[in-house]
Amino acid sequence: MSRNSKVGSATIATVGLMAGLIGAKAVAAGGFDLNRLIEAAKNEKPITIYDSTGKIVEMAENFNAKYGLKATGMKVSANSQLEMIIREAQANNVQGDVVLITDAPAALAQLLPDEFVESYLPEDMAAKIPPEFQKPLAISTNANVWAYNTEAYDKCPVSNIWELTEPQWRGKVALVDPLTKSTYTDWFNQMEAHGDDKVAAAYKAHFGQELRSEEKSASAAWVKAMAQNAPLATDGDDPVAEAVGAPGQKEPFFGLLSSAKFRDNEAKGYKLGICKELEPWVGWTYVKLGLIASKTSSPNAAKLFIHYILTEEGIAPQMKDGKLPTNTDIRMPADEPSGLMAVSDRLFGYDAATGLSDFDRREEWQDLWRTNYSK
């Protein structure tokens, strides 16, 4: 399997570059010995792991069964993770020993510089994790993809993202509200910084002329036009999955959602399909960092859990949801519901070189969306 088919596009992230810019602290491996780490962990208090997916509960239980330890997985949104980590550290009362966080820009801007958390890469994993995912450690890349209802349409009804700004799609596109999920405004900023030429080219390909706009970029013009076309802005991916994929619809929504929601095809009878030929991208990615609370009283157990989730056994529950492991030795399961691997080279990859800009400009992008959004 190619590098792209294992972790997505080669430009998914340059987290290592950003870590160098901000001087992220790393926990030294100091000559890795798994058995010694296990024994040290057994002498420590139980740990808690924060993650934004409920699969963390299963992962913690699997960890406990493997090593005879006690870890608790807790589903916590990325926004809440940030607040909890900072407050716990300031109060010297760490509850979350390990944090698996998808808000990489905030972690780069707030958590790592102030040493609320540390990045730890097990020495025996160094050759398996590409350098761009090492400092700080990224355990996976996650994808949001454009999807349609395969029961209502023989093929994807949209071929270009600019079509979604036209009258025929007014009020018929569903996505998570960018005002509530920062990965969306980060995506807007990433498009402007790293893919604006392709957004402009897609406009010309669709409309047959060069883009002329009052906005400073093609990406900003597209975001503005999308907001003005009355999309259904939801509070999460579940409502998007239902609006797009629920069976029995004559005119279902077209939508943007996490690849994890394709599991609902089996669980709920949904009819979700990836729009595989959409220009200029079929979706976009973001990274999930694996970090350790600097003041944890169980540093060895925390390190052991980080090591565990870098293995195929450890990350397997999330791979079933289309999460792409950064460990290049791991192959994605053939029965992953979304079929993401077939289009992994057509995902717009996250580039952390502009991670601080993503963080700093969130309010600016939210304002653009808010001032133009219509229902």
Half-sphere exposure of 258 (CA within 13 A, CB side): 26
* Higher pLDDT, residue 68 or 26: 68
Q: Residue 321: its pLDDT value, please?
A: 78
Q: Which residues pair with 293 in a beta bridge?
A: 117
Query: pTM, whole model, 2 decimals?
Result: 0.82
The pLDDT tens digits for 29-75 are 456 899 999 999 999 999 999 999 999 999 999 999 999 999 999 99
**Whole-number Å distance between alpha carbons of 374 and 154:** 30
pLDDT at 248: 97
What pLDDT is recorded for position 14? 40
Question: Which of 100, 99, 44 shows the shortest CA–CA distance to 67?
Answer: 44
Distance CA 136, CA 25 (A): 8
Q: Quickly state the pLDDT bin for 167 (edges 50, 70, 90).
A: very high
pLDDT digits (tens, 9 = 90+) for 87-113: 999 999 999 999 999 999 999 999 999
Max CA pair span of the chain: 67
Q: Answer yes or no: is pLDDT of 352 > 80.
A: no
Residues 223-251 pLDDT 10s: 999 999 999 999 999 999 999 999 999 99
3-state secondary structure (DSSP) of residue 305: helix
- Answer whether 254's CB lies under 8 Å from 158's CB: yes
According to the model, what pLDDT value does residue 353 have?
Answer: 78
What is d(CA 225, CA 165) in angstroms, rounded to the nearest whole number?
Answer: 6
> Between residues 24 and 172, which one has the greater pLDDT?
172
Tens digit of each residue's pLDDT (9 = 90 or more) over 120-139:
999 999 999 988 889 899 99
Residue 53 CA to residue 345 CA, distance in Å, equals 25
Query: How confident is residue 84, by pLDDT bands cut at 50, 70 and 90?
Result: very high
Residue with tokens 């972790």: 7
Q: Which helix (H) or strand (E) holds 312?
A: helix 312-319
Length of the chain counted residue by residue: 375
Q: What is the C-alpha radius of gyration for the chain, rounded to an integer number of angstroms?
A: 21
Would you state the pLDDT for residue 26?
A: 40
Q: Which of 209, 240, 213 is nearest to 224 (CA)?
A: 213
Task: At 198, list the tokens.
Answer: 């392709």
For residue 347, pLDDT over 80 is answered with yes
CB 149 within 8 A of CB 252: yes
Residue 227's pLDDT is what? 98
Please answer whether residues 148 and 264 qualify as being in contact, where contact means their C-beta atoms are separated by less than 8 angstroms. Answer: no
